[in-house]
Amino acid sequence: MASPSGPIMALAPLAPLELVSVALAAIASKKGAYCPYSNFRVGAAILLADGTLHTGANVEVASTPVGICAERCALAPIVAGMERPELPKIRAIAVSTDIWGPSSPCGMCRQMIREFCPLDTPIYMYGRQPLASNQSYPATIPPEEELRICGEPVVMTIGQLLPMSFGPNDMAKREVQTVAQIG
Ligand SMILES: [Zn+2]
């Protein structure tokens, strides 16, 4: 159970069909990307323990630091849509881009994922396999077809992507140390 001191328990690993669903959702959500400045589409999908899938895409604006990544676009509404003290129970996250190899979440997104996920939560990263120099992908590809050309995803846990991270558990340690010092 997620608690104010941070999620510590791993949830059940994904069944193969669940992984396909998460991957297809991440791939399909790229169509919502608004990225006229980078032309770098990213889609993200988050599978919760209750079986629901939540997606996001990167949204850029002319003032580039103001834009938001697909991962945080997907994650923040999940958290904001719950009543406190409830927190999401996240089983897996998938990220899809149009490049090869697959891209990993940026540092900001890793930190936000770390806040709400056990350290062994898997992050599945999908890209498009490279083509010969005289070939190109069509402008639109059905998600099922794109998943086929993605090949195997790169998968790492959030703990591997953000080692020795600072998270909600560290805030709880400070409180314990303060009590000990006073005593
Ligand atoms: Zn990011």
pLDDT in tens, 160-169: 999 999 998 8
Of the spans 78-87, 122-131, 143-152, which averages the highest pLDDT? 78-87
Q: Which residues surround ligand 1, an ion (CB under 5 A)?
A: 69, 106, 109
**The amino acid at 105:** P
- In tens, the pLDDT along 68-91 reads 999 999 999 999 999 999 999 999
Contact 29, 44 (CB under 8 A): yes
Looking at residues 100-124, what average pLDDT do you find?
Answer: 96
Integer angstrom CA distances of residue 155 from 60, 81, 93, 182: 26, 28, 10, 44
Cα(81) to centroid(ligand 1), Å: 21
Given the residues 18, 60, 71, 86, select the one marked as catalytic: 71
Rounded Cα distance between 29 and 43, Å, is: 5
Cα(182) to centroid(ligand 1), Å: 40
Contact 125, 102 (CB under 8 A): yes
Contact 118, 9 (CB under 8 A): yes
Q: Is the pLDDT of residue 65 over 70?
A: yes
What does pTM read for this prediction?
A: 0.87
- In tens, the pLDDT along 13-59 reads 789 999 999 999 999 999 999 999 999 999 999 999 999 999 999 99
Whether 71 is a known active-site residue: answer: yes
Question: In order of start, what are the domains of the chain with their CATH numbers?
Answer: 16-182 (3.40.140.10)
Farthest CA pair distance, the chain: 72
Helix (H, G, I), strand (E, B) or coil at 59: strand
